[in-house]
A and B are shown apart, each in its own frame.
Chain A
Amino acid sequence: MDSIVTQPCSQIRESFSAYVDGEVTKSERAIVESHLSACPACRDTLSETVRLVSKLGSLQRVEPGPGYLAALRQRMSVEESFADRVMALLSSQTAVYRFSFAAACVVCVVITADVALRPGAGTARGKLGEPAVFAAGTPAPLVIAEAGVPRGLAPSLRAGRDDAPKAARTPAVRPVGPAPIVLAKAPRPGAGEARQRMRSVKILGPKLETLTRASAADRHPGDTEAGESARPVNESRMAPGQVLAQPPPIDLAAGGNIPGRVPKLEPEPVVEAVQVPAIGRRKLTAVLPAGLEVIEGTPAETAASTATPAATIQIEVSDVADCIKDLVRLVDQIDGLSMRQVLVLSAPAIDLHLGYSGSQQGFVAAVEHLKAGVNGLPGGRTVAVDADGVATATSRLVRIRLPLAGLRSRSGARLGPGEAPGLERRRVMAPDGLVSASKRWYNPSS
């Protein structure tokens, strides 16, 4: 005990806070108390600590006012809107940006041409403005063929998988031979147009470009608005008389000359890109037929939006967007089946509603075919099949349910059941295939 009492005061005082808070062990308490009994100075110090703790404990706490929650909710929605506006701003290209970008490209081209035309660097030297002849192996100038391809956020929204090669996701800049260099000039779009262009170019990336080229020839006469947006961006925004950089020929049989996820592009009715509503805070994209309706809502809301399905197939997939694309392709291959709606439920599923026209035997066979196809999809697995729904002789609906649990976002992060909290935005597809501006926060439980 003598050794306890003889401990220096500074060492003992370090334990005072813990002593006052009751956070000392029995032995520590014994040491402090024995010291205090013999040291009046430390007793004063301890009483100061007690007074301080008492004062701090009586300090006012701050309570939220009645409008706190509403203000918080408002800020949450405002911040979400702000993020959208930034996305739209990044995807739209202002006149200043266009001019700067064009000027930078011209400078690059001039420098490249100057280097190429130096004596010894090429086989011929021409003046600026004259066609230049490039020697083999000379770095070719770049043609900016897709002026509408946005930057910045594009990787997260592009259609290519994360494991796809980077070249597959960046088709905007493409080396070509000594072709005339043309920069497509686009009028400054409105916000809505910018967002649509973002979807029709950024989301799909190389695949849309290829698809739209393949379908452009068929769609030019009497183009609708949807068809217009499906054209290549540089073509749809060309000024009259402007020369268009000719794209290299596309070899569909070989899967196109642009590296992409889909090795072989078959003619299919895919002409539009839509953004599947956010799941949690992640954006998912999919390629869907024009005019396809996308509805997001609670199961009750979505159930009211369609006729009774003839069948329900539940599957698990590894990627929502890619699965939808694959399903669209699969459905198109089955006679009589047609895609009607994509219902993205907040939780726990995505429904694809399909129409069917044909005989009863044909319907059963189509469902079996579809089921087999779903099972054959990468990551696809049939969980349940429900074919007891009502179907007329001429029009049937098949519902495919994709549970969100176990899905993966485009970034590869796994979407667990808790990651679709239900606070999502609603986007509704207009009949022309363009996403309407309708969106709002909603509460599934309300």
Chain B
Amino acid sequence: MAQAQDGTIGVTDQDLVERFRQGDELAFNEIVGRYSSKVLTICTYYMKDPHEALDVSQEVFIKIYRGLPAFRGDSKLSTWIHTIAINTCRNHISFFRRLFSRRTELNDELVVKSSLPGPEDDVLSRERDSILRREVQALPPRFKEIVILKDLQERSYEEIGEILSINQGTVKSRLHRAREALTERLKRSKAF
């Protein structure tokens, strides 16, 4: 416990879950800290509207907060969180959900782009990134989610199968078709 309070180094997800169950609210903050980037990335590439993405990401963490006490640990925490994120995004794109959804104003305090070194300062690269992001967002949901999970979240086929409740053979074929469709779209956009 002392180790957990001093910092997150060496603290496993299971430790955090256990601390949260014992009433330590800070453990939830740490979980948010660990997974907010992943959840935000999923939501941003799943939803077309960044405001919606932010709202949905918050909704994901609210669900996590409510569900953590009942989390049995049958799967990894990361797999469970990814499942919640994907399911929440799926539900949110329905018309009625969007109609009644709340909208949080975006600002730099809430969301920032990754500061990873890359071509983001290059205008041309940024434009290509923008097209690629738009084409990913335009994919059918079942293709979009598998591309996000594999190529952005770098999940293994086994984990993807668990998250999407499909077998690994389906993961392989669906991912192939998704990438094929994305390649076609990019070729049409002359961005490939």
Known A67-B109, A422-B24: A60·B114 in contact at CB below 8 Å: yes
Task: Decide if A56 touches B111 in the complex (CB within 8 Å).
Answer: no
B6 sits at the interface (CB 8 A): no
Task: Decide if A13 touches B114 in the complex (CB within 8 Å).
Answer: no
Q: Give bound CA distance, A71 to B173, whole Å.
A: 40
Task: Decide if B157 touches A18 in the complex (CB within 8 Å).
Answer: yes
**Contact segment of A47-55, A156-164, A207-215, A238-246:** A47-55
Known A63-B114, A71-B104: A51·B192 in contact at CB below 8 Å: yes
Within 163-183 of B, Cβ neighbours of A (below 8 Å) are at: 168, 172-173, 175-176, 179, 182-183
Contact for B24 among A52, A66, A417, A445, CB less than 8 A: A445
Known A68-B110, A72-B61: A59·B25 in contact at CB below 8 Å: no
Contact for B37 among A16, A18, A56, A62, CB less than 8 A: A62
Question: A392-424 toward B: CB 8 Å interface, digit per residue (1/0)?
Answer: 000000000000000000000000111111110
Q: Give bound CA distance, A66 to B136, whole Å.
A: 27
B154: which A residues are within 8 A, CB to CB?
A: 57
Task: Report the minimum CB–CB distance from A99 to chain B (whole Å).
Answer: 28
Task: Decide if A14 touches B173 in the complex (CB within 8 Å).
Answer: yes
Task: Decide if A60 touches B111 in the complex (CB within 8 Å).
Answer: no
Task: Decide if A17 touches B147 in the complex (CB within 8 Å).
Answer: no
Among A17, A347, A445: residue with most chain B CB under 10 A: A17
A361 sits at the interface (CB 8 A): no
* Chain A, interface residues (CB within 8 Å), range: 35 or more
Q: Give bound CA distance, A134 to B62, whole Å.
A: 57
Within 253-275 of A, Cβ neighbours of B (below 8 Å) are at: none
Task: Decide if A60 touches B120 in the complex (CB within 8 Å).
Answer: yes
B107 sits at the interface (CB 8 A): yes
Task: Decide if A445 touches B25 in the complex (CB within 8 Å).
Answer: yes
Question: A417-435 toward B: CB 8 Å interface, digit per residue (1/0)?
Answer: 1111111000000000000
Task: Decide if A21 touches B150 in the complex (CB within 8 Å).
Answer: yes
**Contact segment of B8-16, B66-74, B75-83, B91-99:** B66-74
Q: Give bound CA distance, A443 to B112, whole Å.
A: 29
Task: Decide if B156 touches A59 in the complex (CB within 8 Å).
Answer: no
Task: Decide if B151 touches A69 in the complex (CB within 8 Å).
Answer: no
B157: which A residues are within 8 A, CB to CB?
A: 18, 21, 23
Q: Give bound CA distance, A16 to B173, whole Å.
A: 10
Question: B107-141 toward A: CB 8 Å interface, digit per residue (1/0)?
Answer: 11111111110111000000011001100100000
A122 sits at the interface (CB 8 A): no
In the complex, what residue of chain A is closest to B68 when comparing beta carbons?
A421
A27 sits at the interface (CB 8 A): no
Known A62-B41, A63-B40, A68-B36: A416·B23 in contact at CB below 8 Å: no
B129: which A residues are within 8 A, CB to CB?
A: 58-60
Task: Report the minimum CB–CB distance from B94 to chain A (whole Å).
Answer: 20
Contact for A63 among B113, B156, B192, CB less than 8 A: B113
Task: Decide if A64 touches B37 in the complex (CB within 8 Å).
Answer: yes
Name the prevailing secondary structure of the B interface residues: helix
Task: Report the minimum CB–CB distance from B102 to chain A (whole Å).
Answer: 8
Contact for A61 among B41, B66, B150, CB less than 8 A: B41
A76 sits at the interface (CB 8 A): yes
Q: Give bound CA distance, A18 to B69, whole Å.
A: 36
In the complex, what residue of chain A is closest to B25 when comparing beta carbons?
A443
A248 sits at the interface (CB 8 A): no
Q: Give bound CA distance, A59 to B172, whole Å.
A: 22
Task: Report the minimum CB–CB distance from A32 to chain B (whole Å).
Answer: 12
Q: Give bound CA distance, A422 to B21, whole Å.
A: 8
Question: A196-225 toward B: CB 8 Å interface, digit per residue (1/0)?
Answer: 000000000000000000000000000000
Q: Give bound CA distance, A72 to B70, whole Å.
A: 21
A386: which B residues are within 8 A, CB to CB?
A: none
Task: Report the minimum CB–CB distance from A442 to chain B (whole Å).
Answer: 9
Q: Give bound CA distance, A245 to B30, whole Å.
A: 59
A444 sits at the interface (CB 8 A): yes
Task: Report the minimum CB–CB distance from A15 to chain B (whole Å).
Answer: 7
Known A346-B23, A347-B23: A62·B114 in contact at CB below 8 Å: yes
B176: which A residues are within 8 A, CB to CB?
A: 13-18
Task: Decide if B114 touches A422 in the complex (CB within 8 Å).
Answer: no
Q: A21-B175, A64-B37, A75-B104 are known contacts; what are 6 more A-B pairs with Cβ within 8 Å?
A: A21-B150, A59-B151, A62-B113, A63-B111, A68-B111, A72-B32
What are 21 A-B pairs at a CB distance below 8 A? A17-B172, A23-B156, A52-B186, A61-B114, A61-B116, A62-B40, A62-B112, A63-B112, A64-B37, A65-B107, A67-B109, A68-B40, A68-B110, A71-B58, A75-B58, A347-B22, A417-B21, A420-B23, A421-B69, A423-B23, A446-B25
What 5 A-B pairs come out closest when comparing CB atoms? A422-B23, A418-B21, A67-B109, A56-B151, A64-B36
